[in-house]
Structure 1
Amino acid sequence: MDETPPKPTASHVTRLRFVFGEKRIVGPGRIDLLEGIGDTGSIAAAGRRMGMSYKRAWTLVEELNTTFDAPLVEMHRGGAGHGGAALTALGLEIVRRYRAMQAASDRAIAGDLEALLTRLAPDAVSPG
């Protein structure tokens, strides 16, 4: 059985990270968390989906909510089954714009990246 790892490809390789200050960061993990909150309606569930503790997910949401001029996530407090979270209009916009920038970046570098990939040593391991 051949256990040779698959050759890296040029698709979806860009990992954009914007640093606006010490804890004012927007990057792939935080965008994934926002998408998870949008999908699940819960900070805890989104964090679990990513293998992240509730405390870590909550901290990242607080940082994201203070990075921009309005919150990205709206929290609904309540007892069991009554709490939850949702993306605000700005949260949805930030996710959409980030994904659009990521796709534009992938398109912009595709040719040069493909050229680099053809020059990888046979035993090169893809970053990950």
Structure 2
Amino acid sequence: MSKSASPGPALSIRIDLDPDGRIGPGKIQLLENIQATGSISAAGRAMEMSYKRAWDLVDELNRICGQAAVDRQTGGKNGGGAILTPFGESLVSRYRAIEQAAAAAARQQLLALKKDIGKKAR
């Protein structure tokens, strides 16, 4: 979808856990991709990032949360993989719930903003 076809203003939620620790849509999407693919490298490729970048983000999540969100599986015949830990699954679920609640709370203001922006474009 092109930006001009966008439905209008939308929220993007970033949660600041400490001055250097943030959780936002990118890290959550990475976790969802890991859950879907069973692989950190495949999850990173789906987001057009290197394995190193994907692993660094997973490592950062684990550090700022004080527990593992992703569990790496050691390789066998077909190589290793990765799965979300119960904490990782909860983190994704809780983030998506916060995102939905914030969007619902801001819906009227976002619609008003869209209307105001539409007036200026005419």
TM-score (norm 1): 0.84
Give the count of matched residue pairs. Answer: 117
State the Cα distance separating 1:29 from its structure 2 match: 0.1
Give the direction of change, closer, same or farther, for the CA distance of 1:87–1:7 in structure 2 (3 Å limit): closer
Deviations 1:91-125 (A, max 9, x none): 000000000000000100000110111011217xx
Aligned partner of 1:91 among 82, 88, 99 = 88
Quote the Cα distance in structure 2 between the aligned partners of 1:49 and 1:6: 23
Identify the structure with the greater helix proportion: 2
Q: Give the stretch that moved more between structures: 76-85 or 52-61.
A: 76-85
Quote the Cα distance in structure 1 between the aligned partners of 2:6 and 2:93: 30
Q: Percent identity?
A: 43
Quote the Cα distance in structure 2 between the aligned partners of 1:21 and 1:69: 12
State the match for 1:8 in structure 2.
7
Give the direction of change, closer, same or farther, for the CA distance of 1:94–1:73 in structure 2 (3 Å limit): same
State the Cα distance separating 1:89 from its structure 2 match: 0.3
Quote the Cα distance in structure 1 between the aligned partners of 2:21 and 2:38: 23
Quote the Cα distance in structure 2 between the aligned partners of 1:36 and 1:21: 25
Judge conservation of contact 1:23–1:63 (CA < 8 Å) in 2.
Answer: no
State the Cα distance separating 1:20 from its structure 2 match: 2.0
Aligned-residue CA RMSD (Å) = 1.7
Identify the structure with the greater strand proportion: 2
Give the direction of change, closer, same or farther, for the CA distance of 1:23–1:83 in structure 2 (3 Å limit): farther
Correspondence 1:96-107 to 2 at 5 A: 96-107=93-104
Quote the Cα distance in structure 2 between the aligned partners of 1:65 and 1:21: 14
Is residue 121 of structure 2 the alignment partner of residue 122 of structure 1? yes
State the match for 2:52 in structure 1.
55
Give the direction of change, closer, same or farther, for the CA distance of 1:80–1:21 in structure 2 (3 Å limit): farther
TM-score (norm 2): 0.88
